[in-house]
Chain A
Amino acid sequence: MSDTSAGSEESAPGPEEVRHVADLARVGLDDDEVERFTDQFADILDYFETLDEVPEVERDADLVNVMREDEVRDSLSQDEALANASETEDGYFKGPNVS
């Protein structure tokens, strides 16, 4: 079938690959979740494989860009923008270290 460049094997992802994808997605998982997802992903991805049967379809995209003038408009105040942040400092969002 398809020859994928990444992903070492053709079969569904094992626990290590589930952990790897979770790392890419920045979603922590506990061991139970890794186990459940490994089983479920096998079924779900197997089902997605049936997309192989879809013929190539000519997409006559009648898409148009919707443009507007880039002009200054009212926006949230700084206080409003910061109101939902757990930590702020001197009018800025405060986040964790980047690396």
Chain B
Amino acid sequence: MSADYNVFITEETIEGADDGLLADSTVAVKDNISTEGVRTTCGSEMLDDYVPPYDATVVEKLKDAGATIVGKANMDEFGMGSTTETSAYGAAENPAAPGHVPGGSSGGSAAAVAAGEADVALGSDTGGSIRNPAAFCGVVGIKPTYGLVSRYGLVAYANSLEQIGPLAPTVEEAAELLDVISGPDGNDATTRDEGDGSDYASAATGEVEGTTVGVPTELVEGADEGVRERFEAALDDLREQGATVEEVSLPSVEHAVEAYYVIAMSEASSNLARFDGVRYGHSGGFDGNWNETFSKAREEGFGEEVKRRILLGTYALSAGYHDKYYKQAQDARAWVKQDFDEAFESVDVLASPTMPTPPFEVGESLEDPLQMYLADANTVPVNLADLPAISVPAGEVDDGLPVGIQFIGPAFGEAEIIRVGSAVEN
């Protein structure tokens, strides 16, 4: 049986080196990560025929590790969406929950792993885009600390927030893939040395004796009852294995969603200004002057969610509104960071449901963008604070809808969240 979940935008085999850590592994790569000579669309009409002339650093690392790339995975257009329904190449489906979305924006990557179309996958996470589809598809996803993984060759949406990270069936396999892609890169000045020569895979020991898990009440209150039950059951399980669970409060996270969207949209409006159809991308033809041609190319090439975010970002940065929206969002970001810092003085990791709901039904969230944005409440604080987080399957509700539990660590605390995450699998 080979059901078509519309996992790939481009199916193409890219062979890696003969041996290495991933010599026996197939990998799906999200279609916003550049692959030399292989079309990279970002899920957009705008880049329908764009063929990058170079590899992203993470793709070079995959090849060096002997991985076989099996395709470019479907995604929300330019990473903007929480369901993989805004792809210009049609929605991906959730192999773990038919009739439901796989989550987004790395929905194709998560679905590829859930359906067995690839052993592991790379996604990118700007406000939850790895953890959300991991939770919805019943797989593991890691959003690394900002600066752990090179973004060179990742088509930028919101630079200050996004990181490339792994999706896999198990915590150990996700950690192994993270070992391959992490580390400093001369082509990305925001990378740091911490991931150099890492051995995160060996941290997946399932050992939580003596670990203190903090639960931010604000990130549990809004969750569906079924999701909360699964979450509490996973915590009970950790307690039985010797962990201590205590409540903590992070008042700042109440403002994380609005801060996240103001910052992400502002950065998007700037980043996506490069798509003018002249050097690459969909061209509107050359009737009229630059501005008219540029506007036409972008009207035709961009989908509605992308236009919505570019316009809101342009508005938020425009004269008179900058202080009102962007500056306040930066204050909120600093507050969120401070809150997390204080929490980690008393706990080792923080835990929450990854998503407050089980996977949405197909089409459910498209009409109301604000409702879709609110679904990211538990994942965006992590990106604002530049921290690492993992989503691990925590069972199902309603006969087959996957639920994920998220563990958040201090900066460069990947080993810690991998260790605790692996205990959930016990």
With both beta carbons as reference points, the residue of chain A lying nearest to B292 in the complex is identified as A96
**From DSSP, what is the main secondary structure of chain A's interface residues?**
loop
Known: A54-B335, A98-B289. A84 touches B51 (CB 8 A): yes
Q: Is B315's CB within 8 Å of the partner chain A?
A: yes
Question: Is the CB–CB distance between A27 and B318 below 8 Å?
Answer: no
CB distance from A45 to the nearest CB of B (A): 8
CA distance A92 to B286 in the complex (A): 16
A58-92 to B contact mask, C-beta < 8 Å, 1/0? 11000000101000000010001101111100000
- Roughly how many angstroms separate A76 CA and B289 CA in the complex, as a whole number? 29
Given that A41-B312, A84-B50 are contacting pairs, would A47 and B324 also be in contact in the complex, using a CB cutoff of 8 Å? no
Give the chain B neighbours of A45 by CB distance below 8 A: 312, 315
Contacts of B294 in A (CB 8 A): 26, 96
Contact between chains at A85 and B290 (CB < 8 Å)? no
The count of chain B contact residues (Cβ–Cβ below 8 Å) is 65
Tell me how far the C-beta of A12 lies from the nearest C-beta in chain B, rounded to whole angstroms: 10
Stretch at the interface among B13-21, B56-64, B253-261: B253-261
Some 21 contacts from A to B, beta carbons below 8 A apart, are A2-B323, A13-B315, A21-B315, A23-B295, A24-B314, A24-B318, A27-B298, A27-B307, A28-B298, A28-B299, A48-B261, A48-B262, A51-B332, A55-B331, A58-B334, A84-B51, A84-B279, A86-B277, A86-B278, A96-B288, A96-B293
B residues contacting A by CB (< 8 A) are: 49-51, 53-54, 186, 189-190, 252, 255, 258-259, 261-262, 269, 273, 276-281, 283, 286-296, 298-300, 302, 304, 307-308, 310-312, 314-316, 318-321, 323-325, 328-332, 334-335, 338, 369-370, 373
- Also in contact, A40 and B335, with CB within 8 A (given A24-B314, A47-B258): no
Q: How far is the CB of B77 from chain A (nearest CB, A)?
A: 14
The chain B residue with its CB closest to the CB of A82 is: B279
**Best-buried of A52, A54, A76, A83 by chain B (most CB within 10 Å):** A54
Q: Which residues of B contact A33 (CB under 8 A)?
A: 304, 307
A87 touches B286 (CB 8 A): yes
Q: Which residues of chain B have C-beta atoms less than 8 A from A55's C-beta?
A: 331, 335
Structural contact, B278 and A85, CB atoms closer than 8 A: yes
A80 to B50, CA, bound (A): 12
In the complex the two chains form, is A18's CB within 8 Å of B279's CB? no
Question: Are B255 and A53 in contact, with the CB atoms below 8 A?
Answer: yes
Enumerate chain A residues within 8 angstroms of B335, measured Cβ to Cβ.
54-55, 57
Q: What CA separation (Å) do A28 and B310 show in the bound complex? A: 12
B369–A44 CB distance below 8 A: yes
* 8 Å CB contact of A83 from B51, B288, B308, B315: B51
Look across to chain B and name the residue whose beta carbon is closest to the beta carbon of A59. Answer: B334
**Contact partner, A5, options B50, B287, B319, Cβ 8 Å:** B319
Q: Give the docked Cα–Cα distance between A40 and B304 (Å).
A: 12
Among A7, A21, A95, A96, the one with the most B-chain Cβ atoms within 10 Å of its Cβ is A96
Cα–Cα distance between A46 and B241 once the two chains are bound (Å): 46
- Separation in Å of the B331 CB from the closest CB of chain A? 5
CB pair B310 A25 closer than 8 Å: yes
Q: Can you name the residue of chain B whose Cβ is closest to the Cβ of A79?
A: B53
Please give the distance in Å from B261's CB to the nearest CB on chain A. 7
A35 interface residue (CB < 8 Å to B)? no
Q: A12 vs B308: C-alpha distance in the bound complex, in angstroms?
A: 15
| Bound complex: CA A6 to CA B330 (Å) | 21
Closest to B269 in A: A25
